[in-house]
Amino acid sequence: MEPTQKPPKACYNCVKRRIVCDRTGTRCRKCAKKGLRCPGYGIRYRFAHELRDQKQQPPAPSGPAVVDYSGPLTWVAAETRCGGPASRVEGDVGLETGEEDSSSETPSSETTSEGEQLDEVIRETGFRVEAIVDRPRTIEPIDANSRWMFQYFSEHVSPVMLLFNNASNGYRRHVLPFATSNRLVQRAVCVAAAFHLLPRRPELRAPAEQGRAAIIQRLREDGLSAPALDDATWATILLLIVGDLVRGDEQVMILYHMLDAFVRARGGVEPRSQLARFLNSQSRLIKFFGDPIVSESNVPQSPNAAILTTLSGNELPTADTPLALDYVRLYDDAFRLAMDIYLCRARSAAVPVCEDLMAHRVRQLRAALERVDPAYPGAHVLVWPNFVGAAEAEMEEQRTFFTTKLRYIWQTTGYANVLKAINSLPGMWEKRGVQRWTRSLPQLSVVVM
C-alpha cells in the first residue's frame, strides 16, 4: 500500500506559531499536543459579517470588473507584514472581510525550515513588492500587490488631499472600496501610490509612467466612442491629478481641463451616492486652487468664500471637538488673509492698491501663521497661504519665514507640487515691480495646494 501523500500546506495554527507542521492525517499532531483545535490544511477563508448572507459574485474573466459598488465595505489594515526590498511597511491591507481567529497562542521558539519560509515569500517586480505573509490569504477582490499599494495610498497619499485624516476620509471610505471592483480606478490608485514612492523606490518610475499613459489612452478612447460620465471615469481623472500633484508634473493642468470639462458635461446633476458626493467635493477643491493658475480672471469674486468647507468636503468639526475647531479657526484666518492679498494684487491693474497696506496684510498673515504649529492636524493644507505670503513679501526675512513653512510641508507630505511652487518664487521676486506675481502663476503650470 502506497503511503498517503501529505497535504502541500501547513495548518494555520502552525503557520501562526511559526513551527514546522507535521501535516499528518486530517489534523496535525502538534495541535493535539498543545491542546489546540487544528483547523486543518489548505486556505483559510474569512468572510465579513456584512456579507455572510450574500452570495459571492464570480470575478469577471477579463476587462473591467462588473461587480457593482454598493458601499458596504471599508478599507482597514490587516495583520500581515508587507514590505519591499528597499523598505518594509508594517501592516498589509485588505477590505474588512473577516473575523479574527480565536486562538491566542503565542509564537513558539520552534522555527520553520528554509523550504517553508520560502513558501511564505512572494517576490515580484515593477508595481509588485516582496510580501512576507504571516497567515493564509483571505478571499480578496484584488491581488496582494495591489492591496499593498492601496494601503500605501491610504496612509501616505490620501490624507494630504483632505483637511483632517479621520474616519470620514473619502478616499479610504469610498474610493478604495470602489477601486476593488473597477480595474481602471484600481490602476490609477496604484499609479498615484507609485509616484509617491519614487524617492525610495526609483525602479517604479517606468511602470508608473507606463500605467499613467495607458490610463489616459483608455480615457481618450472611451471619450471618442461615447463619453463616459460615470463615477469610474470621474474617480480615475481625480486620481491621475493626485499622482501629478505628487510628482509636480506640468501635465496636471491638462488633467485639470479634462476634469473641468467632465464636470461641465455632467451638468447640474446632484450627486446621489456617497462616492459621487465625495468626488464632487474633491473636484471643487481642485478647481478652487487650479483656477488662479489658469488666469487671474478666474479668481473668486469675494475672499469670504467657504474655503475650509471646500477643503474638508463639508465635514468640518463640530462643537463636541473644540480642539479641532480651534485649528479650523486658525486655518480660516490664514486663508482669508491670503485670499484678500491675492485679490488685491490681481485687481491692482484696474484698481491701484496702497503698497503700505499690502505690506501690513503680509505682516498680518505671518502673525496668523505663526500661531499654527506645523504638527497640528491639518496644518499641511496651508500651502496656498504660505505661498501667497512668500510671493507678496518684500523683506528677505519674511520670505524666509514663508518658504521655510512651505519646505516643511513638502518634506512631510512628499507632494512635489509644493517644491515646484517654492522653486518658482525667486523668479517672481525678480519681476517685482515689472509683472504682478498673480499674472506669473500660469507659467508655473502646477496647482498650488
pLDDT digits (tens, 9 = 90+) for 42-56: 766 555 544 444 444
368 and 333 Cβ atoms separated by less than 8 Å = yes
Section 129-156 average pLDDT: 66
pLDDT of residue 227: 60
pLDDT of residue 267: 80
Looking at mean pLDDT, say which of 87-96, 127-136, 300-309, 379-388 comes out highest. Answer: 379-388
Model pLDDT for residues 165-176, shown as the tens digit of each residue: 877 788 998 999
420 and 443 Cβ atoms separated by less than 8 Å = no
pLDDT of residue 325: 78
Torsion of CA 66, 70, 76, 80, to 10 degrees: -30
Distance CA 30, CA 13 (A): 9
Section 103-129 average pLDDT: 36
Q: Work out the angle between the directed axes of helices 416-430 and 437-444 (0-180°, nearest 10).
A: 140
Backbone dihedral angles phi then psi of residue 426, each to the nearest 5 degrees:
-55, -40
Among 68-82, 181-195, 276-290, 360-374, whose mean pLDDT is lowest? 68-82
H-state helical runs in 83-182: 114-119, 144-152, 170, 176-179
Section 259-282 average pLDDT: 86
Which residues, 6 or more positions from 384, have their beta carbon under 8 angstroms from its beta carbon?
289, 335, 338, 448, 449
pLDDT of residue 146: 86
Q: Is the pLDDT of residue 105 over 70?
A: no
pLDDT of residue 46: 53
Count CA within 13 A, CB hemisphere, residue 63: 3
Residue 207 pLDDT class (50, 70, 90 cuts): very high
Residue 245 pLDDT class (50, 70, 90 cuts): very high
Q: Is the pLDDT of residue 432 over 60?
A: yes
Residue 219 pLDDT class (50, 70, 90 cuts): confident
For the chain, give the number of residues. 449
pLDDT of residue 319: 54
Looking at mean pLDDT, say which of 90-94, 288-292, 308-312, 317-321 comes out highest. Answer: 288-292
Long-range contacts of 45-48 (CB under 8 A, 24+ apart): 45/138, 45/139, 46/97, 46/98, 46/99, 46/138, 46/139, 47/97, 47/98, 47/139, 48/73, 48/95, 48/96, 48/97, 48/98
Section 391-403 average pLDDT: 95
Q: What's the whole-model pTM score? A: 0.70
The cell 479668481 sits on which residue? Answer: 299
Identify which has the larger pLDDT, 289 or 120. 289
pLDDT of residue 58: 44
Residue 120 pLDDT class (50, 70, 90 cuts): very low
Residue 67 pLDDT class (50, 70, 90 cuts): very low
Model pLDDT for residues 344-354, shown as the tens digit of each residue: 888 887 778 78
pLDDT of residue 184: 92
Q: Is the pLDDT of residue 445 over 70?
A: yes
Which residues, 6 or more positions from 238, have their beta carbon under 8 angstroms from its beta carbon?
259, 279, 282, 283, 286
Set of cell numbers at residue 272: 446621489
Q: Is the pLDDT of residue 138 over 90?
A: no
Identify which has the larger pLDDT, 315 or 359. 359
Section 380-405 average pLDDT: 94
Residue 435: how many CB atoms within 10 A of its CB? 13
Residue 63 pLDDT class (50, 70, 90 cuts): very low
Burial of 361 (0-12, 13-18, 19+ CB in 10 A): buried
Which residues, 6 or more positions from 257, have their beta carbon under 8 angstroms from its beta carbon?
none
Give the N- to C-terminal CA distance of the chain in Å, as an integer: 74
pLDDT of residue 166: 78
Distance CA 196, CA 157 (A): 7
Distance CA 312, CA 169 (A): 9
Identify which has the larger pLDDT, 356 or 68. 356
Section 424-440 average pLDDT: 90
pLDDT of residue 295: 79
Mean pLDDT of the chain: 75
Identify which has the larger pLDDT, 182 or 49. 182
Instruction: Say which amino acid occupies 205.
Output: R
Distance CA 213, CA 201 (A): 20
